[in-house]
Chains A and B, each alone.
Chain A
Amino acid sequence: MSEHRRIAVVVNGTPYEAEVETRKYLAEFLREDLSLVGTHIGCEHGVCGTCTVLMNGVSVRSCLVLAVQANGAEVMTVEGLATDGQMHPLQEAFREKQGLQCGYCTPGMLVRAYELLEENPEPTAEWVREGLANNLCRCTGYQYIVEAVLAAAERLRGSSVAEGQPFEPATSSRTNQEA
């Protein structure tokens, strides 16, 4: 018994039509059928948030949504963030602040952060931290992710944030610290 349905879905602005097995969840469909492998699979039971994508503008665990349920929907994945070869300010800020280490939770984090900034362009650190608690990261302890989202918010508001410096200046002494 293996039932299939034909679905039409717009992912990152591109329309797709596909025949999918009804039991295939959305993350698998994105990865296998559309080769959009930026959406990663972490726990497959909705806790870790690694597979977070936007569906019709709101974030969902794509391991807990069927591909057939995305029929007619608009989906955004990490691959939809960068445009014309330019990283999204969130991606730039994650890079600058080293808001990632292994990178595996990063696509889900970026999508969640994108949703957060859509909801509130002027967030506080506390608000961002609470919003990011939606997704697990095992590497960073979250601090630099929070910093990155705040930096991106500032940039998206168009305030006077310097262009991303490729390299930070040297620390002046043999001892350095940061809060």
Chain B
Amino acid sequence: MKPAPFNYHAPSTTEEAVGLLAELGSQGRILAGGQSLFQLMNFRVVKPENLIDINPVSELDYIRVDDGTLAIGARTRQSALERSTEAARHSPLIVEAVKNVAHPSVRNRGTVGGSVAYADPASELPAVVLTSGGEVVLTGADGQRTLSAGDFFRGPYTNACSPDELLTEVRLPRWPDGTGHAFLEFQRKHGSYALVGTAVLVHLDGESIDRVAISLCGVDQTPVRASRAEDLVRGNVPSDGLFEEAAAEATSDLHPLPDVKGSAAYRLKLARVYVRRALELAVSRAKGERP
């Protein structure tokens, strides 16, 4: 299981990386953490002719808050995000989620940008970006553009980057103080791919929920936002019945991709349970009942 040969490019700046992308076009493939790409290459499922390694692009390694937005450079290691106090203050949701990504040694290499750009429909970080109302910054030879998460994820392993664009930043807006979060996922064994995951943010205005976001992964072609379930919850006082209703609504129109890990029907059942549990957890955190 050795990768097919390739030409290796190691740009040290974003500009160089983007220049290489422009030059190589569809022959070039970005190498970020490589924790998914090298798997595919070792199996020879993919055989890129050119790898553009952005690991040396240290300017894309940052976690900072700009104007109330958490900005994470694409080359930031997942383990750095996991340990970032800045990120934990600003978006405990993404910190909770990233701990579910594979194993620590994988997160020591895996990057935030790579995970988002890979657009694995079962992956954790895309669901979090979607829930948070986040954006991605794409940089091309002609400049930058910013896309909402909803516009970025186009299908399984498919995103809205054009061949000469590099995802350079992930941006998460800050939710108000007192927001409760929950990321829960179902793995058959520790560290294995999730069958289903749920990312929830909830804010309470007094007794009732005034803001809510619910996303799921592993249940459709892309991570999905459960907007109708959010509508159902918003403005209401949390209760077991409400969560159950919301969970049913959130899973009423999904089309999971079945595979050997789990059938579509089973994923839907899990999704319903996990939406309910995540809502419960997020609300209890919003109320300050749980850490």
Contact = CB atoms under 8 A, between A and B. Distances in A.
| Chain A partners chain B | yes
Interface of A: 1-3, 5, 21-23, 25, 28, 44-46, 49, 52, 58-61, 63-66, 68-69, 112, 131, 133-134
B139 interface: no
Contacts of A133: 103, 190-191
Interface stretch (B4-12, B63-71, B164-172, B276-284): B4-12
Contacts of A66: 8, 34, 38, 53
B266 interface: no
A134 B1 contact: no
A59 B35 CA distance: 13
Given A60-B109, A64-B34, A23 B4 contact: yes
Contacts of B10: 68
Contacts of B7: 1, 3, 22
B53 to A, nearest CB: 7
B6 A45 contact: no
A45 B7 CA distance: 21
Contacts of B103: 49, 133-134
A2 B43 CA distance: 18
Interface residues of B, number: 28
9 contacts: A3-B8, A22-B5, A45-B42, A58-B105, A59-B108, A66-B8, A66-B53, A69-B53, A131-B104
B267 to A, nearest CB: 22
B43 A45 contact: yes
Contacts of B42: 25, 44-45, 63-64
B8 A61 contact: no
A134 B105 contact: yes
Contacts of B2: 23, 25, 28
B5 A2 contact: yes
Contact of B35 (A2, A21, A64, A131): A64
Nearest to B103: A134
A131 B190 CA distance: 11
A108 to B, nearest CB: 9
A63 B6 CA distance: 16
Contacts of A131: 104
Nearest to B191: A133
A49 B7 CA distance: 27
A5 B5 contact: no
Contacts of A1: 5-7
A102 B178 CA distance: 52
B100 interface: no
A128 to B, nearest CB: 13
B108 A60 contact: yes
A64 B106 contact: yes
Nearest to B43: A45
A46 B35 contact: yes
A68 B8 contact: yes
B39 interface: yes
A3 B6 contact: yes
A64 B7 CA distance: 17
A63 B1 CA distance: 10
A24 to B, nearest CB: 8
A59 B102 CA distance: 14
B131 interface: no
A50 B43 CA distance: 18
A59 B34 CA distance: 15
Contact of B104 (A23, A59, A64): A59
Nearest to B77: A58
Contacts of A58: 79, 105, 108
